Structure 1
Amino acid sequence: MPRRPNYDRDDLIERARDLFWQYGWAGTSLKDLEAALQMKPGSFYAAFGSKDALFELALDKYTSDGSARLGALTEKLGPLQALQQFPAHVIANDAAPAKACMLSKTYLELQARGHSLAAKADKNLTQMEAQFAGLFAQAQAQGDIAPRHDPQKLARKYQSDLLGLRVTAERNEADAIAIAADIAEGLTRLSEMA
């Protein structure tokens, strides 16, 4: 009977996510991962198979955590208010290893290299966009957004605004806070019929 591993797999994925998020795929070596996860090479390969396999798990963890945070805001505030609060929420996390979005950082780094993980980052970005579109559609069904708006187009612009906001947050926190407020204010005007 095989021995059970004496580690928390989710905790290891979370630690790897933070390392990859901060330093990127190329900037994170196997030695960095082994040190951060406190694993010997054999244990690392037995647990995850490869750096790329762990990176993919880290991207999924990043995406599911962001989706869950937005879902929790939605339960508390409703769809439109959640969308209004989310920009300030994502840049306010001082414990995050970076302000910029891990998915966009990955896409930009690895698309240029022709690496298959760029497609994974793109898929996860599309998944987040779909969640935004669903919330815009819910807000529209509740009468908070005028019928003339296309929830998919709103989601695409909203995601673009968020990605830009997060780059700005890396550069200047005060500017990012003001931009987050502008994004939220812009969403209040979606109920206007004209």
Structure 2
Amino acid sequence: MSPGRGRGRPRAFDRDQALDTALQVFWRLGYEGASISDLTQAMSISPTSLYAAFGSKSGLYREALERYGSGEGACSVGPLRPDGSVHDAVSAVLRECAVRFVDPAHPPGCMISTAVLACAEENDAVADHLAELRRRAMAAFVARVDKGKVTGELSAATDCLAIARFYGAIIQGMSVQAKDGAGADELALVAEMAIGAWDDVCARAMAAGSV
């Protein structure tokens, strides 16, 4: 081997592009539904190349989830925008999800919020990882709502977790309905109804926090 020449054969594919393709396959078929054959055919690589680049199917899935969370998934699982009122921040997320969940440029729904809710025992580690991602998203939601206490938008007694869980459940439900064929107008109506319930939701959360 000549000096300066790297060992082994260089990868004959663009790793980032392959990861983007795998993300779409996982999003469309789910973790268990996406076979190695589905993935390698879509990525135009061999199983050997997949394992060499990503370690395993679960390793590839984790990287795809990370990529999703920093891109398309940011509307539903990322931190709410810090500026403006809590009401405006929650409203913006709901409205954005209503649009993104049915965007024809990618599979419907959210890749994380309703993914791997039940699975075979051998995939428990994957399910646990997704549950942790959802817990982090909920923690970010709670933290943003809690800022409303500082600004005076919400009473100090408000149960911020209750508000976050309510709107988180709305987002998850919108994701499921998008997968089942709901259209943009239908999801937009759900979002607007949930936004319209803000005052009542906050009042109930304040009452719950005062107990």
Please give the TM-score of this superposition, normalised by the length of structure 2: 0.77
Structure number with larger C-alpha Rg = 2
Identity %: 27
Closer/same/farther in 2, CA of residues 79 and 36 from structure 1, 3 Å limit: farther
Structure 1 partner of 2:182 = 172
Deviation at 1:11, TM superposition (A): 3.4
SS of residue paired to 1:103: coil
Aligned residue identity for 2:129: K
Establish whether residue 46 from structure 1 lines up as the match of residue 52 from structure 2: yes
Note the aligned Cα RMSD (angstroms).
2.7
Deviation at 1:136, TM superposition (A): 0.3
Aligned residue identity for 2:114: K
Q: For the residues of structure 2 that align with 1:73 and 1:4, how far apart are their CA atoms?
A: 41
Structure 2 partner of 1:59 = 65
Structure 2 partner of 1:84 = 91
Contact 1:74 1:81 in 2 (8 A): no
SS of residue paired to 1:145: coil
Establish whether residue 130 from structure 1 lines up as the match of residue 142 from structure 2: no
Q: Which moved more, 1:133-142 or 1:122-131?
A: 133-142
Question: 1:60-90 CA deviation, whole Å, 9 max, x = no partner?
Answer: 2223336644768615655431211111211
Structure 2 partner of 1:149 = 158
Gaps of 5+ in 1: none
Aligned residue identity for 2:116: Y
Structure 2 partner of 1:16 = 22
Contact 1:63 1:128 in 2 (8 A): no
SS of residue paired to 1:107: coil
Q: For the residues of structure 2 that align with 1:11 and 1:73, how far apart are their CA atoms?
A: 28
Q: For the residues of structure 2 that align with 1:26 and 1:117, how far apart are their CA atoms?
A: 10
Deviation at 1:8, TM superposition (A): 4.3
Q: For the residues of structure 2 that align with 1:149 and 1:4, how far apart are their CA atoms?
A: 57
Q: For the residues of structure 2 that align with 1:124 and 1:145, how far apart are their CA atoms?
A: 27
Q: For the residues of structure 1 that align with 2:86 and 2:16, how far apart are their CA atoms?
A: 29
Q: Which moved more, 1:181-190 or 1:47-56?
A: 181-190
Closer/same/farther in 2, CA of residues 191 and 19 from structure 1, 3 Å limit: same
Please give the TM-score of this superposition, normalised by the length of structure 1: 0.82
Contact 2:13 2:45 in 1 (8 A): no
Q: For the residues of structure 1 that align with 2:43 and 2:61, how far apart are their CA atoms?
A: 13
Structure having the higher helix fraction is: 1
Contact 1:145 1:190 in 2 (8 A): no
Closer/same/farther in 2, CA of residues 11 and 81 from structure 1, 3 Å limit: farther
